[in-house]
C-alpha cells in the first residue's frame, strides 16, 4: 500500500518545522552532542584510570554540554517563534506541560530520602524497583571495576549507556537520589515534546499532537520510570529521537536522515537490548510506505541498519575492552551472554495480589493490580480514630484509561489503512492525512507488545513494565481516535480529565493534601 506524503526517502518532509537553517543553532547543537559524547567517554576512561585532571575535565565538558544545549534550545525556539507564527501556541503549550512535569519530578525526586534508600540485604543504594541493580552498576562504572557475568554490581545482562548516564549524574551531583535520577528525569521529560514533534510530522495536525503529548504526560508508568534510576525511559527517548530525525527528513553535514536515525537508534540499543523491537518498528513503517524498487528499498534499509549496528558494536566493544576483560573480551561474547541470561528468565513472573494469578501480557491490556514498587504507610492517631494513608507510593501501572482505548483505535487504524490504500486518491482518503500517525502508532505498538506475547507463550518471564517503550505509541494511537471529526470535543475533554484523574490518583506523593483526603 502507498500513502501520499510518506517520509522515507531521505529527501525531506513536505513542510519542515523551520524555514531556514541558522549556523548558531547548528553549531551549538553539534557542540552539545560532541561534549556529551566526550564526557561520557571520559567518565569511562577516568574510571579505568582515575585522576584529578580527568575529573575536572569531566566537569568542564558537562558545563559545556549544559551551556551549549541550552543555547541550542533557546536559539531554536527563538527561531521558530520569529519565523513560524503558527508554532507559537505549540511552543507555549510544550513549555508549560514539560516544565510542569519536570517540576513534579523535582518534587518527588528525593523521595524517600537517600538515607532510606539503601538495601541492607543487597548492600546497595536504590529504592524504586530495579534501582538496586542500576545504581551499583553506575558506581562500578565510576570505580572502574572489572566485571564478570552474573555479578550484580555490574549488571552485564543489559548494555551500559543508560547506566553510564546514571553514573554521570552521580559524578556531578553525588551519590544521592537526585544524582542517580536526574538524567532519566530529563530524558523522560524531553520525551513529551519529542512525541509532539513526531505526531505533528506524521499528521500535520496540531490537535492530534496536543492530545498525544498530554496522554504521555499523564501516564503513570512513564512518569514513575522517568523519575527513577531505571533504563527503559532512556532507551525509549533515544528511539523516539531516531524516529523524529527519520520523519523530519533532513540530514546534517554529509549524513541524510536515514543514516542519522540509524546512529541514534544505535544509542537506544546501547541503553537496552530490547530497543531492537523499536528498531524493527521503524524498519516496518519505512518498508510499508517506501516508494521505489527492491534495490532502492534494500539500500535505504542498509542506510538505517548499518549505522545502528556500527554504533552498537563499537560502543559495546569499548565497554568490554575497559570493563569485562578477560571474562567477555568481545562484544559478540557479551551479546551471547545477554541472550543466554534473558533466555534463562523463565517462570510466571509477578503475581497479581488481587486476582491471585500471574500477570501476563494479556493483563497489560485488560487489568492487573498496580505493582507496588515502593509504598510506605503513615498512621495518624487521634482521640477519635486512627487514620492510615500512603506516605510515598511508586506504582508500576500504565494509565489504563489510555490503554483500554487500544481496543478501539487499533481496529479503526487497520480499517482506515486498508480503505485508504485502496482509494488513496479519494477525497475521504485525503481528509485522513493524519492516518499516517495512526499507522505509525499501530506498527510501533505491535512491535512493542506482540514479541512479549510470544516470549510469554514460550515460557519467558514477562514483567508489566516491558510495555513502557510502547506507551508513547498507545498515546499516539489513542490521540488519533479521540481527535476524529465524529468524536465529540466535549467527550474528548472529559476523557483527558479522566486520564489526569488516574495520573493524580497514582501520583507518588500527595503531601499537599489534608490527611483525611489522603486516607480515602
Cis preceding linkage at 312, omega within 30? no
Write out residues in the chain with pLDDT < 50, as ranges. Answer: 1-21, 422-424, 426-430
Euclidean distance between CA atoms 263 and 238, whole angstroms: 10
**In this structure, what is the dihedral angle of CA atoms 436, 439, 444, 450, given to the nearest 10 degrees?**
180
* DSSP-assigned beta bridge partners for residue 390: 377
C-alpha cell at 244: 523524529
Q: Which residues of 447-466 are buried (b: 16+ CB within 10 A; e: fewer)?
A: bbbebbeebbeeebbbbbbb
Is residue 424 within 8 A of residue 4, CB to CB? The reply is: yes
pLDDT value of residue 430: 37
Residues 6+ apart with CB under 8 A from 136: 122, 124, 125, 126, 152, 153, 155
pTM across the whole model = 0.90
Give CA–CA dist 305/326, Å, rounded: 30
Is-contact 108 64, C-beta < 8 A? Answer: no
What does the pLDDT read at residue 331?
A: 92
- Which of 518, 373, 412, 444 minimizes the C-alpha distance to 216? 444
Which triple of cell numbers denotes residue 361? 501480557
CA atoms of 365 and 440, how far apart (whole Å): 19
Burial class (CB in 10 A: 0-12, 13-18, 19+), 48: middle
User: What is the crossing angle of helices 435-458 and 177-203, to 10°?
Assistant: 130
Element of type H or E holding 113? none
Q: H or E segment at 155?
A: none
For residue 47, the model assigns a pLDDT of 65
Buried b (16+ CB within 10 A) or exposed e, 245-272: bbbbbbbeeebbbbbbbbbbbbbbbbbb
Query: Three-class SS of residue 376?
Result: strand
The rounded distance, in Å, linking the Cα atoms of 469 and 205 is: 23
Can you list the positions of beta strands (E) in 82-142?
A: 118-119, 124-125
pLDDT at 403: 98
Task: Give the chain's largest Cα–Cα span.
Answer: 80
Amino acid at each position: 500500500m502507498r500513502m501520499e506524503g510518506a517520509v522515507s526517502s531521505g529527501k525531506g518532509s513536505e513542510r519542515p518545522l523551520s524555514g531556514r537553517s541558522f549556523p548558531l543553532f547548528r553549531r551549538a547543537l553539534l557542540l552539545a552532542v560532541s561534549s556529551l559524547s566526550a564526557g561520557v567517554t571520559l567518565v569511562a576512561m577516568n574510571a579505568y584510570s582515575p585522576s584529578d585532571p580527568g575529573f575536572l575535565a569531566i566537569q568542564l565538558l558537562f558545563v559545556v554540554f549544559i551551556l551549549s544545549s541550552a543555547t541550542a534550545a533557546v536559539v531554536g525556539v527563538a527561531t521558530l517563534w520569529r519565523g513560524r507564527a503558527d508554532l507559537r501556541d505549540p511552543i507555549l503549550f510544550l513549555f508549560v506541560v514539560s516544565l510542569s512535569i519536570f517540576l513534579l519530578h523535582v518534587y518527588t525526586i528525593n523521595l524517600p530520602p537517600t538515607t532510606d534508600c539503601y538495601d541492607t540485604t543487597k548492600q546497595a543504594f536504590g529504592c524504586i524497583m530495579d534501582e538496586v541493580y542500576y545504581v551499583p552498576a553506575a558506581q562500578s562504572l565510576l570505580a572502574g571495576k572489572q566485571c564478570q557475568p552474573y555479578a550484580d554490581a555490574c549488571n552485564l545482562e543489559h548494555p551500559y549507556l543508560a547506566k553510564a548516564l546514571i553514573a554521570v549524574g552521580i559524578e556531578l551531583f553525588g551519590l544521592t537520589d537526585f544524582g542517580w535520577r536526574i538524567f532519566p528525569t530529563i530524558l523522560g521529560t524531553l520525551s513529551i515534546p519529542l512525541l509532539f514533534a513526531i505526531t505533528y510530522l506524521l499528521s500535520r495536525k496540531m490537535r492530534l499532537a496536543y492530545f498525544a503529548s498530554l496522554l504521555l504526560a499523564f501516564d503513570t508508568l512513564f512518569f514513575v520510570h522517568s523519575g527513577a534510576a531505571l533504563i527503559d525511559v532512556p532507551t525509549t527517548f533515544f528511539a523516539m529521537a531516531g524516529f523524529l530525525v527519520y520523519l523530519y527528513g533532513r540530514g546534517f553535514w554529509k549524513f541524510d536522515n536515514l543514516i542519522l536515525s540509524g546512529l541514534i537508534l544505535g544509542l537506544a540499543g546501547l541503553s537496552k537490548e530490547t530497543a531492537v523491537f523499536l528498531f524493527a518498528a521503524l524498519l516496518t513503517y519505512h518498508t510499508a510506505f517506501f516508494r521505489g524498487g527492491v534495490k532502492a528499498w534494500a539500500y535505504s534499509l542498509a542506510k538505517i541498519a548499518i549505522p545502528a549496528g556500527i554504533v552498537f558494536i563499537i560502543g559495546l566493544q569499548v565497554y568490554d575492552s575497559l570493563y569485562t576483560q578477560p571474562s567477555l573480551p568481545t562484544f559478540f561474547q557479551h551479546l551471547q551472554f545477554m541472550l543466554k541470561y534473558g533466555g534463562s528468565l523463565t517462570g510466571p513472573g509477578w503475581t497479581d495480589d488481587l486476582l491471585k494469578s500471574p500477570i501476563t501480557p494479556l493483563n497489560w491490556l485488560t487489568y492487573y493490580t498496580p505493582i507496588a514498587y515502593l509504598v510506605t504507610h503513615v498512621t495518624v492517631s487521634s482521640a477519635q480514630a486512627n487514620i492510615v494513608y500512603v506516605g510515598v507510593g511508586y506504582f508500576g501501572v500504565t494509565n489504563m484509561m489510555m490503554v483500554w482505548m487500544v481496543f478501539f483505535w487499533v481496529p479503526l487504524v487497520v480499517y482506515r489503512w486498508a480503505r485508504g490504500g485502496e482509494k488513496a486518491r479519494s477525497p475521504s482518503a485525503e481528509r485522513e492525512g493524519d492516518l499516517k500517525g495512526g499507522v505509525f502508532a499501530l506498527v510501533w505498538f505491535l512491535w512493542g507488545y506482540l514479541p512479549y506475547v510470544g516470549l510469554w507463550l514460550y515460557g519467558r518471564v514477562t514483567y508489566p513494565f516491558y510495555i513502557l517503550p510502547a506507551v508513547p505509541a498507545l498515546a499516539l494511537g489513542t490521540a488519533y481516535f479521540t481527535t476524529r471529526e465524529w468524536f465529540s470535543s466535549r467527550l474528548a475533554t472529559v476523557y483527558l480529565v479522566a486520564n489526569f484523574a488516574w495520573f493524580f490518583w497514582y501520583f507518588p506523593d500527595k503531601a499537599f493534601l489534608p490527611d483525611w483526603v489522603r486516607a480515602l
